[in-house]
Chain A
Amino acid sequence: MTVAVASGKGGTGKTTVAVALVLSYDRNSVLLDCDVEEPNAGFFLRSKSIKKEEFSVPVPVIDAAKCNLCGRCADFCSFNALALAGSKILVFRDLCHSCGGCSLICPQNAVMEEKNIIGEIHSAESDKIFFVEGTLKIGKAMSPPLIREVKKYGKGENLTVIDCPPGNSCPMITAVRGADYVVLVTEPTPFGRHDLSLAAETVSEMKIPLGVILNRYGSGYKGVEEFCEKRGIEIILKIDEDIKIAQAQSEGKTILDVCPEMKDKMCGIVDKIQKGLTK
């Protein structure tokens, strides 16, 4: 079973929940940190590193000897990654989406492939948890291919948890796609409600069942509960606002270190999701 932990807004406690879920689970599990722009789950795991590999995507390189400068590749490319400039085809590697179209379209067979390194994949292990994290190289814009690669590590285990990137656009959708269940973490504020409504709409559009965890509960603001009630979305857990949790987390401790009772609650959530899915 794959559970994606996401949130429209960043900083609501998504990583906290993802980490607590795998740490509470009694059997083997996999945690995938797909928040590749700012991967932070690793701070909380104390795991032993297994391997680190560069990750690259194929980008075109033009064989000038074969190219007759017809310009068809540049006309085709939907992302402006190719341009005909005088006697040369220029390749803007970081704009390329690796669709393969230019090499298919070239009548001269002049388009070759080379690698563009966009990030790193790091895998690690700590007793029952297999952990994989993607890190986007600084200055690289395109995170979805790296996210797709990290997700390949999540097959066949009892429980795979995905720590998703924030927001509702391509990186979040790439991370969430294919999950069996999505947990949306939010907080009881107007920003939290608004961002939750967008994220919930995105997930519903993808036809994946979802539940909400309301973090830092106790502000007195009821908007999130009202929203969930209206939409028929279940609030699966409320975590009280407690500065001790924030302090513990700031130094790399987990919520389980400060609130041991969370372990049972997290297990309960996994059980409940599992039962709900097999029903």
Chain B
Amino acid sequence: MKELVVISGKGGTGKTSITASFAVLSKNSVVADCDVDAADLFLVLNPKMITSGKFISGKKASIISEKCLSCGKCFYLCKFDAVSYDDLTGKYVICDTACEGCGVCAAFCPAGAISFTERECGEWFISKTSHGTMVHARLKIGAENSGKLVSLVRKIAREEGVKEKAEKIIVDGPPGIGCPVIASVTGSDAVFAVTEPSLSGKHDLERVSELVGHFNLPLFACVNKWDVNPEITLEIEKFCVKKGIFFCGKIPYDKNVTKAQIEGKSVVEYDESPAAREISKIWGNLCGKIL
């Protein structure tokens, strides 16, 4: 079983539309939506939920106001400015979204007035789509630990993959290069980067390639909407050659990509469009290389 992670560096390059198409084109694979912050894959794959579970991760602190002596120690010790003083009530309060759950305040409160409890950060789901099993998740509003949720979704997807004897796991990864991305690519088999022909897109691909290099993983790439700027597309192709990134193809700017999404379909299901043809070709290229 091979695990392919689709990432993009910069967001909004068309990563999810392309991942959804791969999910449709591939036979016998499990799809995992690890872009837990903006999990959109379900909008085009139309999953039916089978099982779900809570994602508990980390802790959070809150002040039990009846016990609090208003000494202010928590306020001075918290390194994350999560504790504030409410002038109106004369009480200290902890802001849920700012608390990182380090536990310092709870450990040093002289009155034992801080409860330090497990935090429910989201939910995960195993669902069926007409193209196979999909594992996805929802991070709670303002929750932390998206990296851990990513790891959990991947773990569940692997278990499902083993059960079903799937050939591949296709992961829709998050944007950026930080914690959730690191959690997505660690221990996978190959990374596919969807980029755009712009100075920012090129710059982000450079950063992504450095990150993937850190993990010693093979990197594949394509340019989406390549005809928006053919010169930069060429530069990206050259960059790929220089860095040993396998360049799989370039997708033209095509209004059908948006139209498919509006219809709730993947690009390859929607129409025989130029973008759909190129995505199929890229998928063929990728399969040839990673399997």
Contact = CB atoms under 8 A, between A and B. Distances in A.
A171 interface: yes
A53 interface: no
A205 to B, nearest CB: 6
B35 to A, nearest CB: 9
What 4 pairs across the A-B complex have the smallest Cβ distances? Answer: A10-B11, A11-B12, A99-B102, A167-B37
Interface in B231-262: 232, 253, 258-259, 261-262
Interface string A27-64: 00000000001101001000000000000000000000
Nearest to A98: B79
A9 interface: yes
Which of the listed residues B80, B177, B181 has the most CB atoms from chain A within 10 Å of its own CB?
A: B177
A11 B10 contact: yes
A90 interface: no
A247 B229 contact: yes
Interface residues of B, number: 64
A267 interface: no
A interface residue count range (under 10 / 10 to 19 / 20 to 34 / 35 or more): 35 or more
A189 interface: yes
B1 interface: no
A169 B104 CA distance: 22
Contacts of B49: none
Nearest to B13: A11
B40 A104 contact: no
Given A10-B175, A11-B12, A177 B142 contact: no
A38 B166 CA distance: 34
B155 interface: no
Contact of A40 (B143, B200, B229): B200
Contacts, number: 182
Interface stretch (B22-30, B124-132, B191-199, B282-290): B191-199
Given A11-B12, A189-B258, A246-B225, 12 more contacts: A10-B175, A40-B203, A76-B103, A139-B182, A167-B175, A168-B37, A169-B139, A195-B38, A202-B141, A220-B262, A221-B258, A251-B232
Contacts of A101: 102-104, 107
Nearest to B209: A138
Contacts of A171: 178
B104 A168 contact: no
Interface stretch (B63-71, B93-101, B157-165, B270-278): B93-101
A165 interface: yes
Could you tell me the dominant secondary structure of chain A's interface residues? loop
Interface string B203-225: 11001001100100000000001
A21 to B, nearest CB: 18
A265 interface: no
Nearest to A35: B176
A250 B38 CA distance: 24
A252 interface: yes
Contacts of B103: 76, 78, 99, 101
A9 B38 contact: yes
B200 A138 contact: no
Nearest to A195: B38
A171 B174 CA distance: 13
Interface string B1-26: 00000001111110010000000000
A99 B79 CA distance: 6
Interface stretch (A124-132, A140-148, A225-233): A140-148
A97 B198 contact: no
Contacts of A141: 147, 178-179, 182
B43 interface: yes
Interface in B143-161: 143-144, 146-147
Nearest to A10: B11
B108 interface: yes
A205 B177 CA distance: 27
A167 B11 CA distance: 9
B97 A206 contact: yes
A201 B174 CA distance: 20
Which of the listed residues B11, B147, B179, B225 has the most CB atoms from chain A within 10 Å of its own CB?
A: B11
Interface in B27-49: 37-38, 40, 43-44
